[in-house]
Amino acid sequence: MGRRAPPRLASRPARVVCAVLVAGAAAGPLRLAAQDLDARLIRARCRTVHDIEDQSLIFGTVIDQRTGTTLPGSTIHLAWSTPRGVSDTIHNHVETRSDNGVFVFCDVPQRTRITAWADAAGSVGERTDFFFNGGETERRDLYIQFRHQTGGFAGELIDADNGEPIEGARVHIPGTDLQALSDQHGRFRIRDAPVGAIEARIDHIRYGSPAVSLTVEPRQTSYAQIRLSPAPIEVEPLSVTIDVRPQWLESSGFYDRQEEGLGQFVTPTDLERTPFRRFSEVLRKVPGVDIRNVCRPHCYQVIRMSTQSSVQCPVTFYIDGKKWSTVREDLLDLDALAPNGDIAAVEVYRGISQTPPQFYGRCGSIVLWTLRGGRG
């Protein structure tokens, strides 16, 4: 035998509205999830109940007008009137309860004014009217303005493995300032939370950041015992670099001056990374130091800083903290100052304004630290 289509509504008195609860309640044979609120999908589902091509459908969610959250435990109402006689009418009313505030009505009345509204937690929402000619599918979200807008929730955090209370966990509602820390007994309490279905998050280094779905009722405090399994938060691997500093350079203030950032520094680590055997090779790598070879007839180096405007202004040299003097300070054999890989570190100061008092030089100073100085 072929399947008989259920009776239709509106234009025919025998028609019956079918309510489909998205939360999986027992009213009607359809089971929908919240993510299924798509007009085409809902129409296909409704036709499994009422195999009628031109049936009209209404679906939507019940929403807290202040917070915008979906309200669980809502009751959704449809009301309309149909004529029974010359001066008499039949007042029709159907309702359905949704566990998560999402609803679908299949095969609603046509060619008559329909009113929809919802209520939850003792508060009734605004009414909305609509009219169907035949075959429409419409989404109507219903809003409720609560008289009492906040509630609270409290709970106890328990380790799922050993049953011990979890202390020091941060319980908070994302996007708000509402938060609490669990005490030594694992207990917490948050007041003035938005009414409706909310998602709280728990942060703890041992248990990660799990999310918990809660329902807050107006003027009431909900309670939940929450068991958490250890799930440590993953952090990026730590890379530790150990810088071994020669004690004699440390005591001379070399690293303190480097941290002040006034000059330019060639450290022992730099020299290990790029070994230099000659002092002139080191200085040629320092920005702002100009070295020219002069042979008269012996070959020397003339050293100038890039900030100098006169060639008659020689650089002042210090070796192992002591000023080095020569008859012609501008004519030097740099490689004779630290031969055979004797260089430990170098400081370069290009002007008076950045030069420490102990290394004064009118045209800039270069401080050479040698390995033999450290042994002495």
Structural domains present in the chain: 18-144 (2.60.40.10), 150-228 (2.60.40.4130), 247-375 (2.170.130.10)
User: What does the buried/exposed string (b/e) look like for 99-131 if buried means 16 or more CB atoms within 10 Å of the residue's CB?
Assistant: ebbbbbbbbbbbebebebbbbbbebebeebeee
What number is the average pLDDT over the span 370-375?
A: 80
Helix (H) or strand (E) holding 335: helix 334-337
Share of the chain above pLDDT 90, in %: 18
Helix (H, G, I), strand (E, B) or coil at 60: strand
Helix (H, G, I), strand (E, B) or coil at 184: coil
Q: Residue 241: its pLDDT value, please?
A: 62
Q: Is the pLDDT of residue 222 over 90?
A: no
* Six token digits for residue 61: 């969610």
Judging by DSSP bridges, how do beta strands 365-370 and 316-319 pair with one another? parallel
56 touches 108 (CB < 8 A): yes
CA angle (87, 90, 93) in 5-degree steps: 155
Q: Residue 232: its pLDDT value, please?
A: 65
10 touches 111 (CB < 8 A): yes
Burial-class residue 202 by CB neighbours within 10 Å (0-12, 13-18, 19+). buried
* Six token digits for residue 54: 């031109």
pLDDT band at 274 (very low <50, low <70, confident <90, very high): confident
* Six token digits for residue 164: 């011990």
Instruction: Give the model confidence (pLDDT) of 231-269 as tens digits.
Output: 866 667 766 666 678 888 888 999 999 888 888 898 888
Q: Residue 17: its pLDDT value, please?
A: 65
pTM of the model: 0.39
Helix (H, G, I), strand (E, B) or coil at 150: strand
User: Rounded distance, CA 203 to CA 199, Å?
Assistant: 13
What number is the average pLDDT over the span 315-340?
A: 72
Q: Is the pLDDT of residue 7 over 50?
A: no
Instruction: Give the model confidence (pLDDT) of 28-55 as tens digits.
Output: 334 565 566 888 888 888 888 888 888 9
Q: What is the mean pLDDT of the chain?
A: 79
| Nearby residues of 115 by Cβ (< 8 Å), 6 or more positions away | 78, 79, 80, 127, 128, 129
